[in-house]
Amino acid sequence: MIARTLPLQRLARMFCAVFSLTSILVYFGGADGLYAAQANQPFAAFNLKVEIDIEDGEIDMTATFTLGAGSNGLDPPKETVSLEVKGGTGAYSVAIPAGSFKKDGSGRFTFQGAINKVKLEASIRPLRDGVFEFEVETEGANLKGFANPVTVTLTIGDDGGSRTVRAEIE
């Protein structure tokens, strides 16, 4: 009887630890913070142009995307925006926290600031029903090792997409 009780106690303690950790992360980071990199609603279309200046740490990217049929829409001021760019042995990723994007007079959502010592300028602009443009420029990122092809993953709230393209690399 004692031999069977020990594994069950360990299992119960492990379950409690995992549940507690998840609860803490959700409480302090919100569900978007915990699941920021996971896009539950894939873009219906995702096209992009990427330029990388390795020496200056600059990524200049323009993307257009169409929300998928199951999307609940975008609300950039309330959603985390995550960007990941990989190619060769290089990789750059950033999560712009919810509350960072502000709407300007033209209906465009913009962010300007620094995250992890990298200067960022980003914007999200609605073009027409369900179609958006995302632009980002970085300065001072560590981009050593980048080579083609480059895979870009963009996630806005629970919407996102990933695409591999040939970047212009200097």
Q: Which of 98, 97, 94, 100 is nearest to 141 (CA)?
A: 94
Domain ranges of the chain: 1-34, 41-169
Q: Which of 153, 157, 156 is nearest to 50 (CA)?
A: 153
Give yes or no for a contact between 89 and 83, defined as CB atoms under 8 angstroms apart: no
Give the per-residue pLDDT at 56. Answer: 94
More confident residue, 21 or 102: 102
Average predicted confidence (pLDDT) for the chain: 84
Give the per-residue pLDDT at 122. Answer: 97
Give the per-residue pLDDT at 130. Answer: 83
Give pLDDT tens digits for 137-158.
Answer: 999 999 999 999 999 999 999 9
Which residues lie closer than 8 Å to 99 by C-beta, 6 or more apart?
77, 78
pLDDT-derived band at 9 (thresholds 50, 70, 90) equals low
Give the least confident one: 5-9, 54-58, 77-81: 5-9
Which residues lie closer than 8 Å to 125 by C-beta, 6 or more apart?
106, 107, 108, 109, 132, 133, 134, 135
How is domain 41-169 classified at the CATH fold level?
A: Immunoglobulin-like (2.60.40)
Give the per-residue pLDDT at 36. Answer: 39
